[in-house]
Amino acid sequence: MSKLGIKIGKRLFHVQIDALGSLDSQISVQIEGEDVPVILPKQSEDGDKLDWIIINNRPYEINLDADLLTIGLHNRVYPIEIRDLAVSLTRPRIADGRVKAPIPGLIRQLYVYQGMSVEVGQSLLVLEAMKMENEILAPKTGCIRSVNVITGQNVNLNDILVEIE
């Protein structure tokens, strides 16, 4: 037995899912104390993502984003919050001031220098990838502790570009 608090928009629901049912494709679910029939595909050994589900005789193709901030249902997105009491799940939207390369690419333009103060959402640099010029924005307000790249440099995924303190 496991309990979750799920917030969709402004509404909060308590959902309880029974793990015993997981050997079958039908699982036992309770929401706000009410039993709901749910069918989902068996999870494979490599632990794939859930693609679709049948809830109360309604099919949904779904896509939970990796940061657990939205759920896509038939390609429309809804903001969510998940509270799992078994795991303390307080995910801040910004971890720290380290700005990593979200994709591999080429540094086209640098707008900041060490010691400069930046506002949240301010453009730090331009990273070119997939034939697009992508502005990388400051995740928080602060002072630039270091700039680890130069214009014209190729960067790999997750390379630290700029640090803000």
Partner 1 sequence: MKKILIANRGEIAVRIIRSIRDLGLKSVSIYDQNDWQSLHVKLSDECYVIRSEMDRATDVEIIELAKRVKADAIHPGYGFLAEQADFAETCADAGIIFIGPSPEILSLLQDRFTVLELVKRAGIPTPKFLKKLFFVNQIDEIVEACVEMEYPLIFQARYHQPGRSIWFIENQAQAIEMLERLQQKQPNLELFLEEKISPVHLMRVIILRMQNKDSIVFNEIDSSIQFRNRRLIEESPSPIITPKQRNEISQITHEVTRCLNFSGLGTLDFLVDTAGNVFFSKIKPYLPASHVLTEIATGLDLVAFQIMHSAEMGPGIRQDDIQAKEHSLLCRISAVDPYKNFLPSPGVIRKFRLPAGPFVRCDTHISDGYQLPEKYDPILAKISVLSYDRASLLSRMRRVLSETSISGITTDLPVLLNILDQPEFTKSLYHTDFLTQRFEGHLEAIHEIPSEDEYKNFAIATAAAYYYQRNFFRPTMPERLKSTWHQESRKP
Site for partner 1 in 103-162 (CB under 8 A): 103-105, 109, 129-132, 134-135, 137
- β-partners of residue 71 are 64, 78
Distance between CA 165 and CA 158 in Å, rounded?
19
Q: Which amino acid is it at 67?
A: D
User: Which of 11, 20, 113, 150 touches partner 1 by CB under 8 A?
Assistant: 11
Q: Which two tokens stand for residue 75?
A: 């390609």
Site for partner 1 in 38-57 (CB under 8 A): 38, 40, 42-45, 47-51, 53, 55-56
> 80: buried, middle or exposed (CB in 10 Å: 19+, 13-18, 0-12)?
middle
93 near partner 1, judged by CB under 8 A: no
User: Which of 1, 26, 35, 74 touches partner 1 by CB under 8 A?
Assistant: 74
Nearest approach in angstroms of CB 71 to partner 1 is: 5
Instruction: For residue 120, count other CB atoms closer than 10 A to its CB.
Output: 12
Distance between CA 113 and CA 103 in Å, rounded?
22
Torsion of CA 53, 38, 26, 70, to 10 degrees: 40
73 near partner 1, judged by CB under 8 A: yes
Q: CA gyration radius for the chain?
A: 21
65 near partner 1, judged by CB under 8 A: yes
Q: In this complex, which beta carbon is closest to partner 1, that of residue 110 or of residue 163? A: 110
Which residues bind to partner 1, rule: CB under 8 A? 2, 4, 6, 8-9, 11, 13, 15, 17, 19, 22-23, 27, 29, 31-32, 36, 38, 40, 42-45, 47-51, 53, 55-56, 58, 60-65, 68-80, 82, 84, 87, 102-105, 109, 129-132, 134-135, 137
